Amino acid sequence: METAQRVMTRPTGAHDRLFYGGMAVALAITVLVGFAPTYFLKVFGDGSLTTIGGKPFTPLVHLHGALFTSWIVFFLVQTSLVASGRVAVHRRTGIAGVVLAAAMVVVGVSVAVMSAARGTAPPGVDPLSFLAVPLFDMVLFATFVTAAVLKRRDREAHKRLMLLAYVSLIAAPIARIPGVLPLGPFAFFGLAFVFILAGAIYDLVTRGKIHTVYLWGGALFAASVPGRLVLSTTAAWKAFATFLTS
């Protein structure tokens, strides 16, 4: 009877640390699985390093890899600090996260534009059209991180926004998992959306409703996929992409 009472009075979000820590690990594993054959293993091995379009890697691409790998470590550290109750340290190190995120956006956009200018894209895809995919990834990432910083005192919104920021980048490694890229963008973006869906389901189970961050953030992420694909075929986008890469 006493045990049942303790379970019934367990505070809302009692398993949040376990859930968000588990999501951080799952996302990190996804990145490693996706990029290990094409980047991580080759950096320390003898294989030739080439992009998804078969182009050789440049120093800027390596900087891109270093920054985005640092994000994996940062996210794991931040969730670990919260899980261990070291919230004050989590908040102080958050400043470094803001600087890292800003650098990621600058370098991410630069790499995307440089890659399009070099003709880098998946086989059979126009590089100027493909430019819409990584650029919108950066737009979503910057949007979610900025919102998370603005909502840093709202713990419930902040952690969900940070998760959405991470998920906005996860389609790239998912696309590099063997067999996924040929399925097309709706496949690898759909698999990325599973992480958002997991958060929404967790909210339903633990709160009885989905947090508004997942509702508008998930809708924005989902709408961006067909939106960027349609936009990338327009003459206006081609002109804009040509301006950026010229």
pLDDT in tens, 67-93: 999 999 999 999 998 888 888 888 888
67 domain-assigned: yes
Q: Is 19 a member of any domain?
A: yes
103: in domain: yes
User: Is 230 a domain residue?
Assistant: yes
50 forms beta bridges with 56
What is the residue whose two structure tokens read 């070291």?
A: 86
* Residue 1 covered by a domain: no
Quote the CA–CA distance of 32 and 225 in Å, as a whole number. 23
Q: Compute the CA torsion angle 194, 198, 204, 205 (nearest 10 deg).
A: 140
Tens digit of pLDDT per residue, the chain (246 long)?
444 444 444 455 668 889 999 999 999 999 999 988 877 776 666 555 655 656 677 888 889 989 999 999 999 999 998 888 888 888 888 999 999 999 999 999 999 999 999 888 888 899 999 999 999 999 999 999 999 999 999 999 999 999 999 999 999 999 999 899 889 999 999 999 999 999 999 999 999 999 999 999 999 999 999 999 999 999 999 999 999 999
Which residue range is the domain that position 69 belongs to?
A: 10-245
* Beta-strand runs (E) in 114-178: none
**How many domains, the chain?**
1
Q: Is residue 69 part of a domain?
A: yes
Quick one: 231 exposed, middle or buried, by C-beta within 10 A (0-12, 13-18, 19+)?
middle
pLDDT of residue 51: 59
Secondary structure of residue 50 in the 3-state scheme? strand
- Any idea what DSSP says for residue 56? B
Q: Is position 3 within any domain?
A: no
4 in a domain, yes or no?
no
| C-beta separation of 157 from 216 below 8 A | no
Q: What is the pLDDT of residue 40?
A: 75
Q: Given this model, what pLDDT does residue 33 score?
A: 93
Cβ–Cβ < 8 Å for 25, 77: no
